[in-house]
Amino acid sequence: MHGLKTSRPGLLLGKLGNVPKKPMGAYMWFCMRARPAVTAAYPAWGVAETGRELGRLWREASGAEKQHCQRLAAADQASYAREMRQPNRT
């Protein structure tokens, strides 16, 4: 096949073909925006502490902010669906 071994079939699909990246969810859009502020405020924190804080901030986020992130996620999902429908992805 390709000579690379993997424990999960399909893991290398994105690396072997022109497969678009999967769309991000609303929480991931939120984290992408909030992570720089959290890491600046708490530079000594590791990944676990930063993740806990991001989760807490997401739970406390206003409805408007969550809706904004959900709109970004929906647009990302639509873009992904369009790219997946293209027969010859280059």
Q: How far apart are CA 9 and CA 7, in angstroms?
A: 7
Tens digit of pLDDT for each residue in 47-87? Answer: 999 999 999 999 999 999 999 999 999 999 999 999 888 87
pTM of the model: 0.75
Find where tokens 């690379």 sit: 4
Looking at residue 20, its pLDDT comes to 85
Q: How far apart are CA 22 and CA 3, in angstroms?
A: 25
Domains and CATH numbers, the chain: 21-85 (1.10.30.10)
Average pLDDT of span 9-16: 54
Tens digit of pLDDT for each residue in 22-50? Answer: 999 999 999 999 999 999 999 999 999 99
20: DSSP letter: P
